[in-house]
A and B are shown apart, each in its own frame.
Chain A
Amino acid sequence: MPVFFLTCVFWPNMALAQGRHTEVVIEHTGTAFIKTDVLIRDLDVLSGGVESADAANLMNRIVANDLRLSGLFLVGFSEENPDSLKYEFTIEGTVEGPLRDAAQTGENAPVTISLNLLSYPQRQLLMNKRYRPLPSQMRATAHHFANEVIHWLSGEPGICLTRVVFSRGSGGRRDLYVVDYDGEGLLRLTANRELNLCPDWSPDGKEIAFTSYRDGEQALFSLNTTNGKVRRVIAREGLNLGASWHPGGEELLLALSHGGNPEIYRITPQGKIIKRLTVSKAIEISPSWAPGGRDLVFTSDRTGTPQLYIIDSDGAGRRRLTFEGRYNDSAVWSPSGDQIVYATRSGNYTQIVVMKSTGEDRRVLTGRRWGNSEDPSWAPDGRHIVFASDRSGVFKLYVYDVVEDTFRQLTFGNDPDITPAWSH
């Protein structure tokens, strides 16, 4: 994300900084939770006319939306406080117009934005950030500031600069697209008139591994997110499916079937097989690393129905994880490692289920009104899950908040969207 930061001034008040985790109370008791209320004032436009005013409005709107989407905050815009919020913090700032010099004029001139986080009502300055974004960098700048606020107030890294890659299309053609976590900035990544499926981000976000038929037969490819170039990683006969990057980035898990049967393998990012991890006559697919990169969860139908299993990175220590349901697949470990989300089929419908990684506390997230819900993927905050559901008649992406038990729609339009993956 190319954002140009002129200056990043950070003045932590040491006393407040040390105590900041206790100031904000974020409690989750299962049914009740407390949010922090933040007042966001209109930014003062010091100069620059309409360009600065537009920038001020955009910053305001995006920061407010980011704080709401984090699930940690309630946001008000007025001191009069019609919603009776108990403000604890204020965000305010200034926008100065484009510098009119010979090199940078008109559309491409950056504005100067200064944003402050203050205590309320004492108005003690907690954080200041200054940016000089071009118009094309405005959204990323707002997301960056929102991340800083979330981190300062909660101690957790924000997800405001994360993105979701997914597969869109029908009729034997599906292309990869990427969208910002808030549903903005939709971008098409492939255009080859074939199937492009099951993308997964490398830990550093620089590559997206995906399964494609772009050369005719199914193979695993990797797309460079900086320059858009695609390289072939591995192309064995049959399946080259379901890549899962190791948290360290130095290898991937993949299902290959060139030996006659779909099995789980570890491969290098260059496509060299490191080790075969499973041996059976059953289907073994959908591998996903645990966050530590020592264990992995995958699907095997060796008992006659697809069920989840855990093994270590040598293929040893196999244990069965699911005993409920006759069809469980698409498991993904939560970033903190304590939970696993997966898809289960009940009758003709597929539903999303979350449970502890020990297999306990199984909880169905999507009931019958959600139609088919498939392909879950965790946000790096461990609180949000993106998945595909056909509740509207066509598969679209939705984001679920595990803490609040709420949903929002992420993608729109008539083409089916499937196999999403949240960036790290």
Chain B
Amino acid sequence: MNRGWITRNAMLIAGLVLLVALISLAGCGSKSDVETDPAAGTGVGEETEELPVETVPEVVEPVVEEGPDYLNLNPSDYGVEDVFFAFDQYDLDDESMGILSHNARIIKEAGVTILVSGHGDERGTVEYNLALGEKRARAVRDYLVSLGVTVGQLKITSYGESKPFAMGSNEDAWAKNRRAHFERP
């Protein structure tokens, strides 16, 4: 059918446009340049679906439909999970390693730079908690790199006890706050 031919052509053109878009996107070093693209892309994409077939060359498939907009999402939004640590420990346990294997696949696919921040619970001193957070972030980065993630993709920092996820002075809150967290840098 004529309609099927046009659809195939439309997809071909859309693919080419997408390729060009991706290349230009990859060329964008700075975050501020990229931030305006997804919104514009989405707007054009939605509009063109309503247009008659004659205007097919202008069809642009929105980039966001091809996969998550990694640059503008928090890692947790596309499936990267935080890992948790035992009291005063910075070693990874079996559960953490499982989570990090899962994270490694996603991070490699995403290809964006991610910040791994280390955290501790409120007990103990400010400085030792900062050091524990640092060791936790490094342990996570080292393991992810061993799973094939590019080292340059992972930045690390430690906030110690200064940016808690759960408030309260109890085992539950403390356990939630001893973690390595993945965030946009």
Are A283 and B125 touching (Cβ within 8 A)? Answer: no
B156 in contact (CB, < 8 A) = yes
* A218 cross-chain contacts in B, Cβ below 8 A: 157-158
* A257 cross-chain contacts in B, Cβ below 8 A: 131, 134, 138
B83 in contact (CB, < 8 A) = no
Are B162 and A239 touching (Cβ within 8 A)? Answer: no
* A260 cross-chain contacts in B, Cβ below 8 A: 138
Question: Contacts A238-B156, A255-B131, A283-B135 hold; do A374 and B126 have CB atoms under 8 A apart?
Answer: yes
Cα distance A242–B128 when bound, in Å?
10
1/0 contact string of A197-225 vs chain B (CB within 8 Å): 11000000000000001001110000000
Cα distance A197–B128 when bound, in Å?
13
Question: Contacts A198-B127, A260-B138, A330-B125 hold; do A238 and B162 have CB atoms under 8 A apart?
Answer: no
**Interface SS of chain B: helix, strand, loop or mixed?**
mixed
Q: Which of A328-362 contact B (CB under 8 A)?
A: 329-330, 343, 345, 348, 350
Cα distance A238–B156 when bound, in Å?
7
Are B162 and A197 touching (Cβ within 8 A)? Answer: yes
Are A285 and B156 touching (Cβ within 8 A)? Answer: no
* A171 cross-chain contacts in B, Cβ below 8 A: 163
A241 in contact (CB, < 8 A) = yes
Cα distance A260–B124 when bound, in Å?
23
Are A350 and B124 touching (Cβ within 8 A)? Answer: yes
Are B125 and A239 touching (Cβ within 8 A)? Answer: no
Cα distance A385–B132 when bound, in Å?
27
Cα distance A306–B138 when bound, in Å?
19
* A213 cross-chain contacts in B, Cβ below 8 A: 157
Question: Contacts A172-B159, A172-B163, A218-B158 hold; do A239 and B124 have CB atoms under 8 A apart?
Answer: no
A110 in contact (CB, < 8 A) = no
Cα distance A261–B142 when bound, in Å?
12
* B127 cross-chain contacts in A, Cβ below 8 A: 198, 241-242, 255, 285-286, 299, 329-330
Cα distance A260–B138 when bound, in Å?
8
Cα distance A285–B126 when bound, in Å?
11
Are A285 and B162 touching (Cβ within 8 A)? Answer: no
Are B125 and A374 touching (Cβ within 8 A)? Answer: yes
B105 in contact (CB, < 8 A) = no
Cα distance A419–B126 when bound, in Å?
8
Q: Which listed residue (A239, A242, A345) contacts B158, Cβ 8 A?
A: A239
A149 in contact (CB, < 8 A) = no
Interface centre among B124, B125, B132, B162 (most CB of A within 10 A): B125
* B180 cross-chain contacts in A, Cβ below 8 A: none
Cα distance A241–B158 when bound, in Å?
11
Residue of A whose beta carbon sits closest to that of B123: A348
Q: Which listed residue (B126, B132, B138) contacts A375, Cβ 8 A?
A: B126
Question: Chain B nearest CB: distance from A50 CB in Å?
Answer: 47
* B124 cross-chain contacts in A, Cβ below 8 A: 327, 329, 345, 350
1/0 contact string of A305-325 vs chain B (CB within 8 Å): 010000000000000000000
B130 in contact (CB, < 8 A) = yes
A153 in contact (CB, < 8 A) = no
Q: Which of B121-160 contact A (CB under 8 A)?
A: 123-128, 130-132, 134-135, 138, 155-159
A55 in contact (CB, < 8 A) = no
Shortest beta-carbon contacts, A-B, top 3: A172-B163, A283-B131, A329-B125
A-B residue pairs in contact (CB < 8 Å), sample of 14? A171-B163, A174-B162, A218-B158, A237-B156, A241-B127, A241-B131, A257-B131, A257-B134, A257-B138, A327-B88, A327-B128, A329-B124, A345-B124, A348-B123
- Which B residues lie at the A interface, using CB under 8 A? 88, 123-128, 130-132, 134-135, 138, 155-159, 162-163, 185
